[in-house]
């Protein structure tokens, strides 16, 4: 089995650190009661994590979650956070939609106000709260410090080529209701999107996009992950619509794998139907993880053909909203 010693999860309440053991995962909770809804791990240091909080700004740890400090972001409601593998810059996105960058590990922040100067801004609106919108996802290119993709829920997929100083408005072919974005770690220019109306991919650094919905019977896609070795092998979670995906009953959701330019729903041990929406996907070579809205963690070691539920030892997790590897 390929070694993966640690995962971090945002639970909506706090941050869970999951350390792999011989027969499961040891769970350690921190930031309990903080409203943590997103997080990012510094690619250069698995002990450095940034957490975005509902009505609490950004917190950071440099010791794997044992202690945290307030990064004093000017805005309180943080929906997205990312760390650039290219230059270590930290980005945070908020509701109402604003974007910030820190070049000193979260000690000071610069607002990237150019995002709010885009012509499409007056049309941005989040349906459950139509008077506002938020920066749902931030995706710095792993090999180009200047290249940055940002998804507005609901408003579009925006692109910057100067570290967020200036912006190109919604990119052709991309979904406007952006839920998650990913870059391929080794193939330059390959990017992927999961959105409210389907999935898309780019081969030119996110400038233009191609729809990717063949042979998938659910088009409300939420999470996206890509195999780190094969840029043609990628995954999305999808439901029939927002009410099913985020409701309390059967989400009518599947995890799908794309291969040979088409999608296949994955089973092989996953409950059918799934008891909760698969909000998070993480791919690491042949290992694939999905975190469910009810706190369950599932793993596949064969690209999603077969699955097993992970044993979690420690505090009970009510939800898994986001999942990253360290």
pTM of the model: 0.96
DSSP 92-151: EEETTTEEEEESSTTSS-EE-GGGGGSTTGGG--BTTBTT--EEEEEEE-SS-TT-EEEE
Domain 67-301, CATH: 2.130.10.10
Contact 111, 96 (CB under 8 A): no
HSE, side-chain direction, 13 A CA sphere, residue 74: 12
Q: What's the pLDDT at 261?
A: 81
DSSP 35-66: -EEEEEEETTEEEEEEEEETTTEEEEESSTTS
Contact 109, 52 (CB under 8 A): no
What are the boundaries of each domain within the chain?
67-301
Q: What's the pLDDT at 1?
A: 43
Secondary element (H or E) of residue 223? strand 220-226
Give the phi and the psi of residue 91 in degrees, each rounded to 5.
-120, 140
Q: CB under 8 Å to 122, separation ≥6 — which residues?
A: none
Per-residue pLDDT of the chain (326 residues; tens, 9 = 90+): 455 589 999 999 999 999 999 989 999 999 999 999 999 999 999 999 999 999 999 999 999 999 999 999 999 999 999 999 999 999 999 999 999 999 999 999 999 999 999 999 999 999 999 999 999 999 999 999 999 999 999 999 999 999 999 999 999 999 999 999 999 999 999 999 999 999 999 999 999 999 999 999 999 999 999 999 999 999 999 999 999 999 888 999 999 999 888 999 999 999 988 999 999 999 987 799 999 999 999 999 999 999 999 999 999 999 999 999 98
Q: What's the pLDDT at 4?
A: 59
Can you read off the two tokens belonging to residue 278? 């698969």
pLDDT in tens, 308-318: 999 999 999 99
Strands across the sheet containing 191-195: 178-183, 191-195, 198-202, 210-211
d(CA 261, CA 185): 20
């Amino acid at each position: 089995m390929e070694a993966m010693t640690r995962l971090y999860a945002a639970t909506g309440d706090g941050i869970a650190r999951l350390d792999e053991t011989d027969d499961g995962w040891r769970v350690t909770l921190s930031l309990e009661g903080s409203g943590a809804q997103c997080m990012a791990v510094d690619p250069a240091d698995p002990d450095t994590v940034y957490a975005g909080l509902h009505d609490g700004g950004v917190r950071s740890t440099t010791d794997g979650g044992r202690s945290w400090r307030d990064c004093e972001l000017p805005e309180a409601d943080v929906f997205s956070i990312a760390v650039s593998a290219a230059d270590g810059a930290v980005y945070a996105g908020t509701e109402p939609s604003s974007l910030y960058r820190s070049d000193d590990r979260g000690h000071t922040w610069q607002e990237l106000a150019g995002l709010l100067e885009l012509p499409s801004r007056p049309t941005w609106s989040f349906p459950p709260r139509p008077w506002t919108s938020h920066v749902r996802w931030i995706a710095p290119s792993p090999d180009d410090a200047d290249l940055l993709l940002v998804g507005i829920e609901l408003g579009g997929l925006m692109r910057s080529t100067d570290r967020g100083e200036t912006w190109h408005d919604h990119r052709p072919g991309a979904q406007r209701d952006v839920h998650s974005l990913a870059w391929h770690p080794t193939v330059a220019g390959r990017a992927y999107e999961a959105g409210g109306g389907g999935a898309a991919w780019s081969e030119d650094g996110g400038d233009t996009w191609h729809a990717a919905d063949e042979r998938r019977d659910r088009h409300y896609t939420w999470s996206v992950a890509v195999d780190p070795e094969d840029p043609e092998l990628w995954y999305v979670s999808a439901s029939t619509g927002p009410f099913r995906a985020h409701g309390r009953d059967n989400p009518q959701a599947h995890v799908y794998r794309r291969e040979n330019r088409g999608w296949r729903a994955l089973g092989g041990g996953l409950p059918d139907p799934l008891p909760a929406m698969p909000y998070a996907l993480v791919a690491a070579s042949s290992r694939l993880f999905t975190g469910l809205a009810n706190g369950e963690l599932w793993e596949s070691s064969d690209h999603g053909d077969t699955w097993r539920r992970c044993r979690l030892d420690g505090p009970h997790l009510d939800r898994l909203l986001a999942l990253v590897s360290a």
